[in-house]
Amino acid sequence: MTETRSVCVYCGSSFGNKEKYAGHAEALGKLFHQLGWKLVYGGGTTGLMGQIASATMGPELDGKVLGVIPDALVVRERDSNTEDFNEKIKENVDNHKGSTPLSSAYGETIVVPDMHTRKRMMARESNAFVAMPGGYGTLEEVMECITWSQLGIHAYPVVLYNIDGFFDLLLKHIEHSIEEGFISKKNGEIVQVATTPEEVVEKIANYVVPEGRFSLQWKDEGEHGK
C-alpha cells in the first residue's frame, strides 16, 4: 500500500496533561511497526518519546527505531531507570530534569556531542517528518524542518499530528502570516495536518511537493535530498 519510510518524529519527553497524547503516540508507533516503517526520534525513553519508540519496537522488539541523543541528556546513574524514577517523570513536567536513561528496549541509540549534530543526523536518516505535541524543542525542530523545505534543502513530507487541536494556534499563526504577506500561500502547503495515525501515514504516502519553494543550491545540506 505504501512504500517503506524512515519517519522522523518530533515530540515531547514529557507526557503532557492528557492521557490521549500517550495513547496517540502508542497508536502511531504500533502502526509504524505494522507497516515496517523506521522511526527516527530524539532518543528519549520518557514521555511521548519513549511511548512511540517502545510501540514502534513492538512486543518482540523487532521494530526499526533509531534514537539520536546528545551526550549531555543521557543519564548514567545506576538507579536512573528504576520504576520510581519513571513514575516521577510521568507525574508532571516539573519533575523532568531533561535527562533520560538509555535502554535497548527503545531501539538503537546513537549518542552525539551536541544538539546541532543530533538534528542533522535525524534529518539525514529520514524521508518524512512528523510533529506531535511537545514543548520548545519540538516547536523549534519542526519549524526548522519546514524552513528547510521552503528553502529547497529537502522535499519530504512535513506533517503536524494535531491531537485534540494541540497545534490549532500554530496553524492560525501560519494562516495569519500568509494573510500578512510573510508566507506565500503555496509555501503554506508545505505543512500537512493529520488527526489520526492512519491520516499521518496517508499524508506522508500521498505528499505532493508544493510549487513556489526556493530553488537554491545547497552544499552542506543538499544531501538531505530534494
Q: Over its length of 226 residues, how does the chain's per-residue pLDDT go in tens digits?
A: 457 899 999 999 999 999 999 999 999 999 999 999 999 999 989 999 999 999 999 999 999 999 999 988 887 543 444 444 344 444 444 555 555 666 778 999 999 999 999 999 999 999 999 999 999 999 999 999 999 999 999 999 999 999 999 999 999 999 999 999 999 999 999 999 999 999 999 999 999 988 877 766 666 554 554 4
Where does 6-209 sit in CATH, by number? Answer: 3.40.50.450
pLDDT at 105: 85
Backbone angles phi, psi at 83, to 5 degrees: -60, -40
**Alpha carbon distance 129, 126 (integer Å):** 7
Q: Is 100 helix (H, G, I), strand (E, B) or coil?
A: strand
pTM score, whole prediction? 0.85
Domain residue spans of the chain: 6-209
